[in-house]
Amino acid sequence: MGKVQGGMKCVKYLLFIFNFIFWLSGSLVLAVGLWLRFDPDTSSLLNEEGAPDTFFIAVYILIIAGGVMMLVGFFGCCGAMRESQCLLGLFFACLMIIFGAEVAAGVFGFLNKDKIINEVESFYLNSLQDNTNGTAIASIYHTVLQCCGGSEANPTLCPDATEETKDCVTAIEEFFNEKLFIIGYVGIGIAGVMIIGMVFSMVLCCAIRNNREVI
């Protein structure tokens, strides 16, 4: 019996430590999501009227998942310390939901990478044909991405362009590839961590149940 209780205490404190790390991970996911949403460069490229919003869907999933992770991490700590099967069961269920959301964000980012980039490229190229406010939109892309024109530089749009200046289609692809890979790796990486949390919570639940049956 002493070995059972000792083993349960070990799992309990391991789960508590995991939940604290999980809470910190939630803070990181939330911070990354907020950074991607309010990053001045990204916002300036996608906040114009008519700009595609597909990119922000994955970002919003990250933000929501990060906030819920912080809340769940707190309840997981309480459940571990109080040895509450109810709280641990709720913790496990929440992990399953967040696990699905994180995987969805990661898969969404990877699978829709080309679609999102193509939408932004089309928005930019269409702005070059818009005589109303297209010049203003194009100028934002030229300034933020330090690029010029479509497949080749257009001296009337960016007179300071040099031979080394990238065309904006290439610059857009590189910029959003980097951001979407961040979403994908963060989502899938945190999902892997949550599998460990679900295993710990189930082991502790079983240990609590067995200990009470022995008593």
Q: What integer pLDDT is reported at residue 147 of this predicted model?
A: 83
Residue count of the chain, please give it: 215
Among candidate residues 190, 191, 172, the one with its CA nearest the CA of residue 113: 172
Q: Which residues of the chain have pLDDT under 50?
A: 1-2, 153, 214-215
Q: Are 112 and 118 in contact (CB under 8 A)?
A: no
Q: Scanning the structure block, which residue is given the tokens 């769940």?
A: 72
Among candidate residues 127, 126, 104, 119, the one with its CA nearest the CA of residue 188: 104
What region, left, alpha or beta, does residue 83 occupy, with left being phi > 0 and alpha being psi -120 to 50 degrees? left
Q: What integer pLDDT is reported at residue 2 of this predicted model?
A: 47
Q: Are 166 and 149 in contact (CB under 8 A)?
A: no
Q: What integer pLDDT is reported at residue 5 of this predicted model?
A: 56
Q: What integer pLDDT is reported at residue 22 of this predicted model?
A: 77
Per-residue DSSP letter, 165:
P
Whole-number Å distance between alpha carbons of 215 and 195: 31
pTM: 0.73
Looking at the DSSP assignment, which residues form a beta bridge with residue 183? none
CB atoms within 10 A of CB 96: 12
Q: What integer pLDDT is reported at residue 62 of this predicted model?
A: 80
Looking at the DSSP assignment, which residues form a beta bridge with residue 148? 167
Ramachandran angles phi, psi of 130, nearest 5° = -90, 115
Q: What integer pLDDT is reported at residue 161 of this predicted model?
A: 62
Q: 149 Cβ partners below 8 Å, 6+ apart?
A: 128, 157, 158, 161, 167, 168
Half-sphere exposure of 58 (CA within 13 A, CB side): 29
Q: What integer pLDDT is reported at residue 100 of this predicted model?
A: 76
Report CA-CA distances (Å) from 181 to 24, 111, 119, 187. 21, 11, 17, 10
Q: For helices 168-214 and 2-38, what crossing angle results, to 10°?
A: 160
What is the average pLDDT value for the chain, to the nearest integer?
76
Whole-number Å distance between alpha carbons of 109 and 185: 9
Q: Are 214 and 32 in contact (CB under 8 A)?
A: no
